[in-house]
Amino acid sequence: MIMGSASVASAAATVNTYSVAPGVRLNVRSGPGTNYNITRTLPEGTKVPIFCQTPGTTVSGYYGTSNIWDNVDNGEFVSDTYVNTGSDGYVADRCA
């Protein structure tokens, strides 16, 4: 277990944060799709960490259309179409 904890610590050290689209109050969901429950809503002007990314429901949002979902906290996801990553593709490792 100690090795697992060290891996999490080193992974957390390299996590980048990204801005949510301007003027958007972003829904955070319990899984990578619009069919999952909303766990909270982020206020305008928020930056989010992206721990990993995974495919899910396709969403059309501020930054285009994509099926990529960003893991922003333990068991919490947002659509990548509302996060300014500067890319139409993956910018973090795939979620396990």
Cα 83 to Cα 55: distance, rounded to the nearest angstrom: 15
Q: What is the pLDDT of residues 9-35, one digit of tens each?
A: 444 458 999 999 999 999 999 999 999
Q: What pTM value is reported for the model?
A: 0.85
Average pLDDT score, the chain: 90
Q: What is the pLDDT of residues 47-67, one digit of tens each?
A: 999 999 999 999 999 999 999
pLDDT computed for residue 13 by the predictor: 55
pLDDT computed for residue 9 by the predictor: 46
What is residue 30's DSSP assignment?
A: S
pLDDT computed for residue 19 by the predictor: 97
